[in-house]
Chain A
């Protein structure tokens, strides 16, 4: 809407494109092979006061793809993750997950903003790992992981604990299951947070600068776990990160953000070695 009313604004480069379908390689993606469209942003605008963080953003992500969002801070990357997690509501536009509205629901013929109950139902399919871990300090590690599967998904306690133990094994923390989060290092806490998000068996995993709050020597352990997950599962990942090597390793697609728009996207080899935009070049030379 705002884009139409300002004709001199250049149209978003990513508009109408299937971002994560490997478009830059030119290969037309067969949905039967690569999964179907999972996430769709349709003209999503988000403002904070007079500041427009996202400007009529269109974006599709296909099932099973790993998408990395890069760009300077304040360019709207994290906002995308927070909108998907329904921690924020868009001012305009709609977001769908697997064809179901996340931000809205149908009342008769009309589309109305989603009730909490509706978005809760849809967002069960989305997991998120935060920069500050946000483990629940009042629960021990095991219960941090089992609480939601038991009380939200209705899993029985034994099954949830078994799942939690498997995940703790995956993140290499089996021996810490009986500790409180405050007794763990930052890297360990973040790996528990990854296990906690995965315990809900989400279709989509959102990673919001998950290593930014860690001491440098703890970063590798967390990234190794995420690489493992990216390479061994078919979970769809949206990842905001400043770790460019990690982005290159796990991504099917890298999206470069600037001022609330996707200015460029493509497979990591292309974005990192031969970006089209001057802005992307500048950004990468500053962070690499």
Chain B
């Protein structure tokens, strides 16, 4: 590894920063697409369900790589202007991974007990209020673990952008390899880099998940360690249920206390 000069290290580290940016922007677009398409796929109007279902099928069935090339090379022929590679990549990744995400959103919505929607109807909530106040808050904790998987897939999928010449980790690795003609250390280093990024992402999502579960009154499982401290220390709302369950009196209330 000593063969790799500081200049080449900087190339790799810049690549990490580009990869992080790509992941964050694509994930942001992907979440918007996932919720938009996922909710539309549960809409009561057939035409809305059809169009959103078509979007899902098309993007599931096409390659993110080819779509990225298509956005970068074919769209300019039609419109006469070209996106910078970075944004072409974000667009392609966000729309593709958003399509996968829509399936997660749709499934989580479908998994909310029908009694919840009926109770919301019985209280005369409008369809939008039913979704916002009752259905989505309960579906959300179910979405977090599969979203985590998808986010990691997306992180690794961003390596495709090196083919458009976006200087991400994979692109940097290629340059360093050419400069040093040493494959083993370079590829080992970037494997570790992707792993560390994915690990950080997973830890972050774990915090999100615990917070989401606490928000529907499901106390997170007791676990010692860093993430437990983080998730409790960060927000105030989970403290209530966590502390009470730990203290015991509420578990008692589930069996007695019928005044």
Task: Indicate, yes or no, whether A interacts with B.
Answer: yes
* Interface segment, one of B33-41, B49-57, B172-180, B249-257: B249-257
- Size bracket of the A interface: 35 or more
Given A134-B115, A185-B255, A188-B257; A200-B121 close (CB under 8 Å):
no
Complex Cα gap A50–B208 (Å): 48
Q: Across the interface, do A185 and B116 meet the contact criterion of CB distance under 8 Å? A: no
Q: Which residues on B sit within 8 Å (CB–CB) of A266?
A: none
Q: Across the interface, do B216 and A200 meet the contact criterion of CB distance under 8 Å? A: no
Complex Cα gap A134–B127 (Å): 17
Q: Does A147 interact with chain B (Cβ within 8 Å)?
A: yes
Given A148-B124, A152-B125; A138-B250 close (CB under 8 Å):
no
Binary interface encoding of chain A residues 157-191 relative to chain B, with 1 for a CB under 8 A from any of its CBs, else 0: 00000000000000011001011111111011000
Binary interface encoding of chain B residues 89-122 relative to chain A, with 1 for a CB under 8 A from any of its CBs, else 0: 0000000000000000000000001011011111
Given A120-B126, A134-B115, A183-B253; A87-B121 close (CB under 8 Å):
yes
Contact count A vs B, C-beta below 8 Å: 100
Q: Across the interface, do B217 and A137 meet the contact criterion of CB distance under 8 Å? A: yes
Q: Across the interface, do A136 and B127 meet the contact criterion of CB distance under 8 Å? A: no
Q: Considering the complex, give the chain A residue whose CB is closest to the CB of B218.
A: A182
Q: Does B134 interact with chain A (Cβ within 8 Å)?
A: yes
Q: Which residues on B sit within 8 Å (CB–CB) of A151?
A: 125, 129, 133
Nearest Cβ distance between residue B236 and chain A, in whole angstroms?
A: 13
Given A138-B134, A138-B137, A172-B259; A182-B119 close (CB under 8 Å):
no
Which of B113, B134, B250 touches A179 (beta carbons < 8 Å)?
A: B250
Complex Cα gap A6–B129 (Å): 45
Q: Does B215 interact with chain A (Cβ within 8 Å)?
A: yes
Q: Which residues on B sit within 8 Å (CB–CB) of A181?
A: 217
* Interface segment, one of A29-37, A124-132, A253-261: A124-132
- Size bracket of the B interface: 20 to 34
Q: Across the interface, do B133 and A180 meet the contact criterion of CB distance under 8 Å? A: no
Given A138-B215, A151-B133, A200-B123; A185-B118 close (CB under 8 Å):
no
Which of B129, B133, B216, B259 touches A221 (beta carbons < 8 Å)?
A: B259
Given A184-B254, A221-B258; A136-B121 close (CB under 8 Å):
no
Interface of B is mostly: helix
Complex Cα gap A140–B257 (Å): 18
Q: Across the interface, do B259 and A185 meet the contact criterion of CB distance under 8 Å? A: no
Q: Which residues on A sit within 8 Å (CB–CB) of B158?
A: none
Q: Which residues on B sit within 8 Å (CB–CB) of A147?
A: 123, 133
Q: Which residues on A sit within 8 Å (CB–CB) of B203?
A: none
Complex Cα gap A188–B113 (Å): 20
Q: Across the interface, do B215 and A217 meet the contact criterion of CB distance under 8 Å? A: no
Complex Cα gap A173–B123 (Å): 21
Q: Which residues on B sit within 8 Å (CB–CB) of A85?
A: 118, 121-122
Complex Cα gap A179–B245 (Å): 11
Q: Which residues on B sit within 8 Å (CB–CB) of A282?
A: none
Q: Does A196 interact with chain B (Cβ within 8 Å)?
A: yes
Q: Does A248 interact with chain B (Cβ within 8 Å)?
A: no
Q: A123-B121, A137-B138, A138-B216 are in contact. List 18 more A-B contacts (CB 8 A).
A: A85-B118, A85-B122, A126-B122, A132-B113, A138-B138, A138-B217, A173-B259, A178-B240, A180-B216, A183-B241, A183-B245, A185-B253, A185-B258, A188-B253, A188-B257, A197-B122, A200-B124, A218-B258
Q: List 28 A-B contacts (CB under 8 A).
A: A85-B118, A85-B121, A120-B126, A128-B119, A128-B122, A132-B113, A134-B113, A134-B116, A136-B133, A137-B138, A137-B218, A138-B137, A138-B138, A148-B124, A151-B129, A151-B133, A152-B123, A152-B124, A180-B217, A182-B218, A185-B253, A185-B254, A187-B258, A197-B122, A200-B124, A217-B258, A218-B258, A221-B259
Interface positions of A (Cβ within 8 A of B) = 85-87, 116, 120, 123-124, 126-128, 130, 132, 134-138, 140, 147-148, 151-152, 172-173, 176, 178-185, 187-188, 196-197, 200, 217-218, 221
Interface positions of B (Cβ within 8 A of A) = 113, 115-116, 118-127, 129, 133-134, 137-138, 215-218, 240-241, 244-245, 250, 253-259
